């Protein structure tokens, strides 16, 4: 299997690289400093038809492959991880609609998501149900008029600004994960509200909040897929989105490596650039090797997804696991190359290091990814 990029994908990478260098990178430090949602970056992605890249053409998108989406996520993260997250979450939140929504549901919700007119959010996590989806407490009780939803989601990216929520709730609590169903919920449905906005270590511009449902009546046609199929929908979504997080992590790592190489060429100590010191050379060589290995694993998992390969789940988990660990180690080493300067907010590396950490946590912690990999290796015991 080859991961060589097509001419179209190479052109896409060049286009995003140029846009990121000219318009995204200059905003990154201010976005981090203020912690405000970068509406200008959201508009930029929408104007360049990037927010609908993963959405099928018949529903207003570009219908691009996951590999192409990973290229975009990586190049944006290389300049600004928060801007990359705008792109990643729009795809993440749209995917349950793509795979489980009826044609009517897709035609209603996907075109405005693709255009960027509607911001979307993915509502799965709860305070007591992070890695353990079976502990979901949000209930959607069937009534004559629809499903009455009550519960609270947390750590929801775009939670305070989204117009549409792909939401997972218990319709049959006594069945565990087999009792979870998927719904598309609009922010202006009575009973929907956003709660506390989190004050985060990194990805400062991303609006991450609680989303509350209080006697929210969801129309029956807004259930997506069969009743009780929500866990499967969530896992399929995560299988296709974990490579995107891996790509984001790879981009952060590449951005940090770029800064470290530039510094090693320009910074002089003992009468010559520090890049001539073997200790620095070894650090840079190891960083470059890890970044390239992460990129190839991400590309492999994306290609498996595009080909509907049964090995997707294990490679998806490995790509997210490995790339995010690489992002953390490479940003840490890059700070070390700059020494005291790397620890200062005058340089972007301390931001990159903070941004990298969450890639080891969201979309399933790396401990969960190791469980996924091990179970696939061992099979049923």
In CATH, what number is assigned to the domain containing residue 148? 2.40.110.10
Assigned domain for 153 exists: yes
Strand-pair category, 164-170 with 120-123: parallel
| Residue-level pLDDT at 130 | 83
Residue 99 φ then ψ, to 5°? -90, -25
Task: Out of 94, 115, 136, pick the residue that ends a domain.
Answer: 115
Bridge partners (DSSP) listed for residue 167: 123, 183
Tens-place pLDDT, residues 248-303? 999 999 999 999 999 999 998 999 999 999 999 999 999 999 999 999 999 999 99
Given a cut of 70, whether residue 88 has pLDDT beyond it is: yes
**Are 214 and 269 part of one and the same domain?**
no
Strand-pair category, 180-186 with 164-170: antiparallel
| Residue-level pLDDT at 50 | 98
* Cα gap 108→105, rounded to integer Å: 5
Q: What is the mean pLDDT of residues 162-179?
A: 96
| Residue-level pLDDT at 133 | 80
40's tokens: 């200008």
State the pLDDT confidence band at 92, using cuts at 50, 70 and 90: very high
DSSP summary character for residue 24: I
8 Å CB contact between 153 and 210: yes
Nearest CA to 85 among 358, 319, 285? 358
Query: In the predicted model, what is the mean pLDDT of the chain?
Result: 96
State the pLDDT confidence band at 381, using cuts at 50, 70 and 90: low
Element of type H or E holding 249: helix 230-266
Number of domains comprising the chain: 3
Q: What is the mean pLDDT of residues 45-49?
A: 97
190 SS3 class: coil
* Cα gap 53→91, rounded to integer Å: 8
Given a cut of 50, whether residue 243 has pLDDT beyond it is: yes
**Are 107 and 201 part of one and the same domain?**
no
* Cα gap 140→357, rounded to integer Å: 34
**Are 277 and 205 part of one and the same domain?**
no
Assigned domain for 186 exists: yes
**Are 316 and 200 part of one and the same domain?**
no
The residue range of the domain holding 248 is 234-378
Assigned domain for 195 exists: yes
CATH code of 20's domain: 1.10.540.10
State the pLDDT confidence band at 1, using cuts at 50, 70 and 90: very low
Assigned domain for 192 exists: yes
CATH code of 305's domain: 1.20.140.10
* Cα gap 357→331, rounded to integer Å: 10
| Residue-level pLDDT at 380 | 65
Count the Cβ atoms, other than its own, within 10 Å of residue 225: 17
Residue 301 φ then ψ, to 5°? -65, -40
| Residue-level pLDDT at 190 | 97
**Are 243 and 186 part of one and the same domain?**
no
Assigned domain for 1 exists: no
Given a cut of 80, whether residue 2 has pLDDT beyond it is: no
DSSP summary character for residue 151: E
Task: Out of 100, 115, 130, pick the residue that ends a domain.
Answer: 115
Q: What is the mean pLDDT of residues 8-29?
A: 97
User: What amino acid positions are annotated as catalytic residues?
Assistant: 363
8 Å CB contact between 204 and 37: no
Assigned domain for 2 exists: no
**Are 255 and 360 part of one and the same domain?**
yes
* Cα gap 63→302, rounded to integer Å: 14
Nearest CA to 92 among 236, 261, 292, 298? 236
Given a cut of 70, whether residue 94 has pLDDT beyond it is: yes
**Are 75 and 172 part of one and the same domain?**
no
Q: What is the mean pLDDT of residues 180-199?
A: 96
Q: What is the mean pLDDT of residues 182-201?
A: 96
| Residue-level pLDDT at 131 | 83
The owner of tokens 């939140």 is 93
Tens-place pLDDT, residues 109-136? 999 999 999 999 999 999 998 888 888 9
Residue 303 φ then ψ, to 5°? -65, -40
**Are 244 and 371 part of one and the same domain?**
yes
Nearest CA to 224 among 166, 144, 150? 166
| Residue-level pLDDT at 97 | 98
Task: Out of 215, 230, 245, pick the residue that ends a domain.
Answer: 230
* Cα gap 277→287, rounded to integer Å: 16
Torsional sign, CA 82, 88, 91, 96: negative
**Are 106 and 224 part of one and the same domain?**
no
348's tokens: 């972007």
In b/e form, how buried is each residue of 227-248, taking b as 16+ CB within 10 angstroms? bbbbbbbbebbbbbbbbbbbbb
239's tokens: 């299988």
**Are 27 and 69 part of one and the same domain?**
yes
| List of E strands, 267-346 | 268-269, 272-273
* Cα gap 195→197, rounded to integer Å: 6
**Are 249 and 363 part of one and the same domain?**
yes
Residue 380 burial by Cβ neighbours in a 10 Å radius (0-12, 13-18, 19+):
exposed
pTM: 0.96
């Amino acid at each position: 299997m080859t991961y060589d990029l097509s001419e179209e994908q190479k052109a896409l990478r060049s286009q995003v690289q140029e846009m990121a260098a000219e318009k995204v990178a200059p905003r990154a430090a201010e976005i981090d400093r203020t912690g405000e949602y970068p509406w200008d970056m959201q508009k930029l992605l929408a104007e360049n038809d990037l927010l609908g890249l993963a959405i099928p053409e018949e529903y207003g998108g570009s219908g691009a492959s996951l590999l192409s989406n990973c290229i975009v996520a990586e190049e944006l993260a290389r300049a600004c991880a928060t801007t990359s997250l705008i792109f990643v979450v729009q795809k993440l939140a749209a995917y349950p609609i793509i795979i489980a929504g009826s044609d009517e549901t897709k035609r209603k919700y996907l075109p405005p998501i693709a255009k960027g007119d509607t911001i979307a959010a993915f509502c799965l996590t709860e305070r007591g149900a992070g890695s353990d989806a079976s502990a979901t407490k949000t209930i959607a009780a069937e009534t004559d008029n629809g499903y009455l939803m009550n519960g609270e989601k947390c750590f929801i990216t775009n939670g305070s600004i989204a117009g549409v929520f792909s939401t997972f709730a218990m319709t049959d609590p006594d069945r565990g994960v087999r009792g979870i169903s998927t719904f598309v919920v609009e922010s202006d449905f009575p009973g929907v509200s956003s709660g506390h906005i989190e004050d985060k270590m990194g990805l400062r511009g991303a609006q991450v909040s609680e989303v509350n449902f209080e006697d929210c009546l969801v129309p029956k046609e807004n259930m997506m897929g069969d009743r009780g199929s929500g866990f499967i929908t969530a896992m399929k979504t995560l299988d296709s989105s974990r490579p995107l997080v891996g790509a984001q992590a790879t981009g952060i790592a590449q951005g940090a490596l770029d800064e470290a190489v530039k510094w090693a060429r320009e910074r002089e100590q003992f009468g010559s650039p520090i890049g001539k010191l073997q200790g620095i050379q070894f650090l840079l060589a190891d960083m470059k090797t890890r970044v390239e290995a992460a990129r190839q694993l991400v590309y492999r998992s994306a290609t498996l997804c595009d080909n509907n390969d049964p090995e997707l789940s294990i490679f998806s988990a490995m790509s997210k696991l490995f790339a995010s660990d690489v992002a953390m180690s490479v940003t840490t080493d890059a700070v070390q190359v700059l020494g005291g300067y790397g620890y200062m907010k005058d340089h972007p590396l301390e931001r990159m290091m903070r941004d990298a950490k969450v890639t080891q946590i969201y979309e399933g912690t790396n401990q969960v990814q190791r469980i996924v990999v091990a179970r696939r290796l061992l099979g049923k015991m």
